[in-house]
Amino acid sequence: MIVGNKKNMGATLRRLIAYILKEYKWQCLLVALCILVSTVANIGGTLFMRNLIDDYILPFVNQTQPDLYPLFKALLVMAAVYYVGVFCTWAYNYIMIYVSQGMLKKVRDDLFRHMEHLPIRYFDTKSHGDIMSIYTNDTDTLRQVISQSMPQMLSAVITIVGVFVSMLVLSRPLTLITVVMVVCMVFATRNISSKSGHYFVKQQTDVGSLNGYIEEMMEGQKVVKVFCHEKACIQDFKTLNGKLRDSTNNANRYASILMPVLGNLGYVSYAVIAMVGACLSIFGGQMTLGTLASFLQFSRSFNQPISQLSQQLNSIIMAIAGAERIFGLLDEEPEKDGGYVKLVNAHYDEKGNLTEVPDRTGMWAWKHYHKADNTTTYQPMQGDVVFDHVDFGYTEDKEILHDIEIFARPGQKVAFVGATGAGKTTITNLINRFYDVQDGKIRYDGININKIRKDDLRHSLGLVLQDTHLFTGTVMDNIRYGKLDAAEAEVIQAAKLANAHEFIMKLPDGYQTELKGSGNSLSQGQRQLLAIARVAVADPPVLILDEATSSIDTRTEKIVQEGMDRLMKGRTVFVIAHRLSTIKNSDVIMVLDHGRIVERGDHDSLLAKRGMYYQLYTGKLEQE
Amino acid sequence: MFKTLVKYIGEFKRDAVLTPVLVVMEVIMEVIIPIIMAVIIDYGLESRSLGKVVLIGLAMIVAAMLALWFGVESGRTASSASSGFAMNLRQEMYEKIQTFSFSNIDKFSTAGLVTRMTTDVMNVQQAFQMSIRICVRAPIMLVSAMVMTFMIHPRFAHIFLVVIVCLGAVLALISSKANPTLRKVFHQYDELNAKVQENVNGIRVVKSFVREDHEIGRFETESEKIRSLFVNAEKLIALNSPVMQFSMYSCILLISWMGAKMIIAGSLTEGQLMSMFTYVINILISLMMVSMTFVMLIMSRASGERISEVLMEEPDLFNVSHAVREVADGSIDFEQVGFAYPSNPGKEVISDLDLHIRPGETIGVLGGTGSAKSSFAALIPRLYDVTRGEVRVGGVPVKDYDMASLRDSVAVVLQKNVLFSGTIRENLRWGKEDATDDEIINVCRLAQADEFIRDFPEGYDTHIERGGTNVSGGQKQRLCIARALLKKPKILILDDSTSAVDTKTDALIRRAFREKIPDTTKIIIAQKISSIQDADRILVFDNGRMKSVGTHEELLESSPIYREIYESQTKEGGDDDSRE
């Protein structure tokens, strides 16, 4: 957590308030009104108590037949004022629940919505724990501030203004003393809260590093057990834990001395006012005893909201830091999509022209709108992919791929082999535009992929990764991920194609088995089968298989391979595999080394070359 | 639950006790100060003597300074006690987790444990700090104010008593109603976090299927659930402060009416009535503070429960009282073993397993996905307890061993293996803390890792990133094997640990095993037949049962499953199996 400079903090706070007001303008207005009424009722109560004795009691003392009717009436009026105040307190608390919880939902939803549209680069460069903590820690800080701090601040400000005006009316010199004391208090607050703020930041960093340690160790906890390494881990943990304790201790210490300091400075100011006031009334004579007494009363009610404000200060500082991180994510540039070429369902009409149809035909076409002459052309989607002198690096200064040229004709199987870091996965990252090329062009059916709408481009590409990510939900839901409106029969068909049907039927609830925690209850091989079924149901013309079968045992692989062969039929396929058996029958094999294609050809010709492929094939080189 | 947690205050007990004492002193000062104030007005100002006013004023400043000092000190001790308490809780939890068995670990998710040790502890810490300061301050205020009112007029004290009892009942009702909903909220939080995590980790899948909107829809359903649950809980909690204000105002009105009649009747002075109002406010503000801490406590209660869940979790594997500390040799016996995971006790993953392995034997294990190969291996170092039958190592039942001694002699290279951030050398030393460089290099040679480590610019001091992301899969596996070898185990289990290693290196590793550590029993679980075909015996698993046992040649004759796998890997694959 980074607390920026003051100017930034102010800007963040303004932005946060604007964000809330945009959603809940009327509610906030109503809340402000309720707070006003409830605060005024409270001040009114204080004033009433002073008048009670003078106006309603003293006149009747020692009367035998006292007229208590005026007192009764006054009490009734006060009761009305008080209970309206109580009602308003309840009302604003009640409305604030909806505002604060609604805001938290909105913040979470906005964060998630925005995150879903961020480029892959964001996820590759940010630590996942860090992203998570925006949703948990940072959003939580907002809850307290919206539901408590903000209303309290408002009520405190109203009280301060009201009391200050009353004080000015009563005595200007004494008000000056109060102001001086308030300046002292503000000074003390700034001093103390900047110290506690410093330690709160430190606490947050320490929490972060402890968090990181726990996460790493918990993931490897089974390894820790197997190596009986528990003692050493406890020792490491102790160090980090102690550090966190120190910063927490300091942060809380400064935060919690703020209240007594301010409260007692208030008493000091009371004493000073009493002394100066006594001087004024004794020597100056321009002040009555009653005025002084009321003034002292007010100086007390002046201090209370100030210490209330100071108490909220820390949660506000924390919340601003949280809000800064939240806005940081919301300000991340989303994935840009300048594409306009769409993918549509198509068929050939009687005349043999390709035309667009609303229903799924199993045939797809690129709908290409030409701005220049205002015409639309259709072009069948075939799966022809060309890399034309492509250069790429994840950062500007480090080029990963150099001058890559690939021609994949529709229906061809293109394989990439090479050592770790040779750039195999990077190439597939470029085809579906997870990253954009730096130089050169990638053409899909002759169209520059930058011109194709990203969603449509990705719809046409099926991706199976080495680490299968399954989602919480049933097996059926997970396969249906490929095509949300797939009928049950389609899903089962796809599962059969991927040879996943058999094991699914053995699960306790078959297709309705709930998967939790990204499908941890399934073996890697089973998860991989589901991932393949998921792509099968999506039925894309181009497949990208990144180490898709590497974690399946060979016996299962044979089963998967059958399904995969069926799936690959008639599609353009890009395969990355370390099992050379998987790629042996590819049409073209590209051997990559340090971001360059060093050999290309089919299996037999490459073997005959006795080059790098031969070395890999004979097990002389290690892959991933 | 609070009792469970409170005992972890430990060495910070002094501060935890000192805080209330200091708070009491502070409160006493605060009770004195208003009396001085009254004195300023009644005696100082009315006597119009500047000397008196200054004297009393100075007394008040001194009192305020004392109160300030007590306040600051109590703040210091309170934060020291609470942060210390939090530190101890984290430490205890972490140490407890270290005693967990595999099935205990399976029960808690990684994310869940992290939240428990950070967010939940923070909540408890805050609630604790609030309670030792406010929960002391408020009752004392309450009592002193009550005593004062009683001294002024017992009838007022009765009013207060009735109001306080009613109020207490209402507050208790509110919190008891809100608590179950709040617990649901926290559970829902976990679900929401899981959803985010799923998306952050699987973003490539989401994007490649263009399922952003689908995911957003699902996320919004979850976040709406949190919202509505939280709203329901807070609706109740929001009653707290209006109820409080209602009581306060009612008291004031009642006292005004009764007080007025008493003053007129002459049984009460005006000054006494004024002080009554001060006490009403004092009493009710104290109650307000108590109710605020109450809310905090409710909120933290869910956290406290989650913490004590970890602390109370009983490790389900124990050392027996006279544990055997020496493993005689590397023989392994399975007698009529049946095993089911504790999470799914009805389903046996291993049934009726009988097996005897001699010291120094090399055993290959082969089987399809989910055929219980890994479960079989996990029983040997007693990562789980068998449900039926018995497993013996070195002739002694594994349950009779001291667990650390057993695991030092039985090294497992897990299928899901992990390297930790740190240098290569530090990672390897996990196997043996005081290993010399020679020992380390020696095991790395055995695991065929020495060569590539030397190729790194910093050699053995190369830094491994978290999760081992900066070495290739094959390199990682070889480092893990070296780490296990450093233990000089009597039994070595490789659970699919050479899958990413090229066949040639794989063969070299096995040759090194054969030549350099002949007395170590080696159990090799693999998918590639090439990795096990030269084993002394090969076990073929299918659906939790050992289908056949034999050498490569025997199994080719007798086991159709084995033959099928073999053919699939040699015929279609031609995967350099027989090419070593």
Tell me how far apart the alpha carbons of residues A150 and B222 are, in angstroms, rounded to a whole number.
Answer: 27
Strands B332-340 and B348-357: antiparallel
Q: Which of B50, B94, B196 sits opposite A234 (nearest CB)?
A: B94
DSSP label at B457? T
- Class of the B2-312 domain? mainly alpha
Q: A137 and B119 in contact by Cβ < 8 A? A: yes
pLDDT the model gives residue A95: 92
Residue B576 has pLDDT above 50, yes or no: no
- Test mutation, A216, A221, A523, chain B, max B CBs within 10 A: A221
pLDDT the model gives residue A289: 65
DSSP label at B324? B
Size of interface A-B (CB pairs under 8 A): 452
Among candidate residues B408, B398, B435, B550, the one with its CA nearest the CA of residue B491: B408
CA-based nearest distance A164→chain B, Å: 21
Question: What would the pLDDT profile of A572-588 be if each residue is shown by its tens digit?
Answer: 888 887 666 677 788 88
Chain A residue with Cα closest to B208: A458
Burial string for A450-465 (b: 16+ CB within 10 Å, else e) reads: bebbbbbbbbbbbbbb
Structural contact between residues A78 and B253, judged by C-beta atoms closer than 8 angstroms:
yes
Tell me how far apart the alpha carbons of residues B567 and B561 are, in angstroms, rounded to a whole number.
Answer: 10
Q: How high is the mean pLDDT of chain A?
A: 82
- A 468-487 residues inside an 8 A Cβ radius of B: 469, 471-472, 481-482, 484
Question: What would the pLDDT profile of A406-455 be if each residue is shown by its tens digit?
Answer: 888 888 888 888 766 677 778 888 888 888 888 889 998 888 988 898 88
Tell me how far apart the alpha carbons of residues A501 and A504 are, in angstroms, rounded to a whole number.
Answer: 5
CA-based nearest distance B393→chain A, Å: 16
Query: Under DSSP, is residue B47 helix (H, G, I), strand (E, B) or coil?
Result: helix
Question: What would the pLDDT profile of A370-386 be if each residue is shown by its tens digit?
Answer: 888 888 888 888 888 88
Residue B485 has pLDDT above 60, yes or no: yes
Mean pLDDT, range A101-116, rounded to an integer: 92
Mean pLDDT, range A72-89, rounded to an integer: 90
Chain A residues in contact with B50 (beta carbon < 8 A): 278-279, 282-283
CA-based nearest distance A244→chain B, Å: 8
Is the model more confident about A283 or about B391? B391
Residue A302 at interface with chain B, using a CB cutoff of 8 Å: no
Residue B502 has pLDDT above 80, yes or no: no
pLDDT the model gives residue B572: 42
CA-based nearest distance A375→chain B, Å: 28
Tell me how far apart the alpha carbons of residues A121 and A457 are, in angstroms, rounded to a whole number.
Answer: 18
Q: Which of A75, A120, A237 sits opposite B256 (nearest CB)?
A: A75
Mean pLDDT, range B171-188, rounded to an integer: 81
Q: B245 and A85 in contact by Cβ < 8 A? A: yes
pLDDT the model gives residue A2: 40
DSSP bridge partners of B362: B522
Query: What band does B492 get if pLDDT is binned at 50, 70 and 90?
Result: very high
Tell me how far apart the alpha carbons of residues B320 and B322 are, in angstroms, rounded to a whole number.
Answer: 6
Among candidate residues B296, B229, B200, the one with its CA nearest the CA of residue A105: B229
Query: What band does B45 get if pLDDT is binned at 50, 70 and 90?
Result: low
pLDDT the model gives residue B297: 77
Tell me how far apart the alpha carbons of residues B481 and B483 are, in angstroms, rounded to a whole number.
Answer: 5
Q: B71 and A261 in contact by Cβ < 8 A? A: yes
Determine which of A304-308, A324-328, A363-367, B46-50 has the lowest per-residue pLDDT on average: B46-50
Strands B332-340 and A596-601: unpaired
Residue B330 has pLDDT above 80, yes or no: yes
Mean pLDDT, range A454-472, rounded to an integer: 83
For the record, the structure tokens of B39 come out as: 């004195």
Residue B385 has pLDDT above 80, yes or no: yes
Q: B252 and A82 in contact by Cβ < 8 A? A: yes
Tell me how far apart the alpha carbons of residues B233 and B177 are, in angstroms, rounded to a whole number.
Answer: 8
Chain B residues in contact with A621 (beta carbon < 8 A): 502
Residue A13 at interface with chain B, using a CB cutoff of 8 Å: no
Chain B residues in contact with A233 (beta carbon < 8 A): 94, 98
Chain A residues in contact with B364 (beta carbon < 8 A): none
Mean pLDDT, range B114-134, rounded to an integer: 84
Query: Under DSSP, is residue B273 helix (H, G, I), strand (E, B) or coil?
Result: helix
Query: What band does B356 get if pLDDT is binned at 50, 70 and 90?
Result: very high
Q: Which of A86, A264, A271 sits opposite B57 (nearest CB)?
A: A271
- A 220-279 residues inside an 8 A Cβ radius of B: 220-230, 232-234, 237-238, 241-242, 244-246, 248-253, 255-257, 259-261, 263-265, 267-268, 270-272, 274-275, 277-279
Give this prediction's pTM: 0.75
- Dihedral angle sign, alpha carbons of residues B122, B127, B129, B130: positive
Residue A335 has pLDDT above 80, yes or no: yes
Residue A120 at interface with chain B, using a CB cutoff of 8 Å: yes
Region of B110 please: left (phi>0), alpha (psi -120 to 50) or beta: alpha
- A 403-422 residues inside an 8 A Cβ radius of B: 419-421
Within 8 A by CB and 6+ apart from B139, the residues are B286, B290
Tell me how far apart the alpha carbons of residues B8 and B363 are, in angstroms, rounded to a whole number.
Answer: 48
Q: Would you tell me how many other CB atoms lie within 10 Å of the CB of residue B452?
A: 17
Chain A residue with Cα closest to B275: A49
Write down all domains in chain A, each with its CATH number in brackets.
7-330 (1.20.1560.10), 385-460+540-617 (3.40.50.300)
Tell me how far apart the alpha carbons of residues B170 and B244 are, in angstroms, rounded to a whole number.
Answer: 10
Q: Containing H/E element for A120?
A: helix A120-125
Q: B60 and A105 in contact by Cβ < 8 A? A: no
Determine which of A176-180, B33-37, B429-433 has the lowest per-residue pLDDT on average: B33-37
Q: Which CATH superfamily is domain B332-573 in?
A: P-loop containing nucleotide triphosphate hydrolases (3.40.50.300)
Q: A221 and B97 in contact by Cβ < 8 A? A: yes
Mean pLDDT, range B303-318, rounded to an integer: 83
Residue A115 at interface with chain B, using a CB cutoff of 8 Å: yes
- Test mutation, B119, B247, B288, B420, chain A, max A CBs within 10 A: B420
* A354: exposed, middle or buried (Cβ count in 10 Å: 0-12, 13-18, 19+): middle
Report which listed range, A217-221, A390-394, A416-420, is most confident: A390-394
At residue A325, what is the residue type?
R
Q: B99 and A230 in contact by Cβ < 8 A? A: yes
pLDDT the model gives residue A31: 92
Tell me how far apart the alpha carbons of residues A518 and B197 are, in angstroms, rounded to a whole number.
Answer: 10
Structural contact between residues A492 and A452, judged by C-beta atoms closer than 8 angstroms:
no
Chain B residue with Cα closest to A420: B472
CA-based nearest distance A275→chain B, Å: 6
- Dihedral angle sign, alpha carbons of residues B183, B184, B190, B192: negative
Residue A291 at interface with chain B, using a CB cutoff of 8 Å: no
CA-based nearest distance B190→chain A, Å: 10
Residue B490 has pLDDT above 80, yes or no: yes
pLDDT the model gives residue B443: 92
Mean pLDDT, range A337-349, rounded to an integer: 84
Tell me how far apart the alpha carbons of residues A379 and A375 are, in angstroms, rounded to a whole number.
Answer: 13
Is the model more confident about A550 or about B420? B420
3-state helix, strand, coil in chain A (%, to 5): 65, 15, 25
Task: Give, to the nearest 10 degrees, the angle between helix A554-568 and helix A488-497.
Answer: 120
Residue B578 has pLDDT above 50, yes or no: no
For the record, the structure tokens of A119 come out as: 């480029």
Is the model more confident about A3 or about B358? B358
pLDDT the model gives residue A548: 64
Chain A residue with Cα closest to B483: A227
Q: Would you tell me how many other CB atoms lie within 10 Å of the CB of residue B578?
A: 12
Question: Contacts by A500-508 with C-beta closer than 8 Å and gap 24+?
Answer: A500/A526, A500/A529, A500/A530, A500/A532, A500/A533, A500/A563, A503/A529, A503/B369, A503/B370, A504/A475, A507/A475
CA-based nearest distance B406→chain A, Å: 10
Residue A87 has pLDDT above 90, yes or no: yes
Q: A272 and B216 in contact by Cβ < 8 A? A: no
Chain A residues in contact with B277 (beta carbon < 8 A): 49
Q: A621 and B502 in contact by Cβ < 8 A? A: yes
Q: A256 and B75 in contact by Cβ < 8 A? A: yes
Q: How high is the mean pLDDT of chain B?
A: 83
Q: Would you tell me how many other CB atoms lie within 10 Å of the CB of residue B206?
A: 21
What residues does each domain of chain B span? 2-312, 332-573
Mean pLDDT, range B130-158, rounded to an integer: 80
Report which listed range, A41-45, A610-614, B192-196, B548-552, is most confident: B548-552
Determine which of A121-125, A402-406, B104-108 has the lowest per-residue pLDDT on average: B104-108
For the record, the structure tokens of B14 come out as: 């002094």
Q: Which of B53, B239, B580 sits opposite A275 (nearest CB)?
A: B53
Percent of chain B with pLDDT over 90: 18
- Dihedral angle sign, alpha carbons of residues A138, A139, A143, A149: positive
- Test mutation, A46, A211, A252, chain B, max B CBs within 10 A: A252
DSSP, residue by residue, A206-258: HHHHHHHHHHHHHHTHHHHHHTT-HHHHHHHHHHHHHHHHHHHHHHHHHHHHH
Structural contact between residues B488 and B409, judged by C-beta atoms closer than 8 angstroms:
no
Query: What band does A620 get if pLDDT is binned at 50, 70 and 90?
Result: low
Is the model more confident about B274 or about A498? A498
- Test mutation, A51, A86, A130, A604, chain B, max B CBs within 10 A: A86
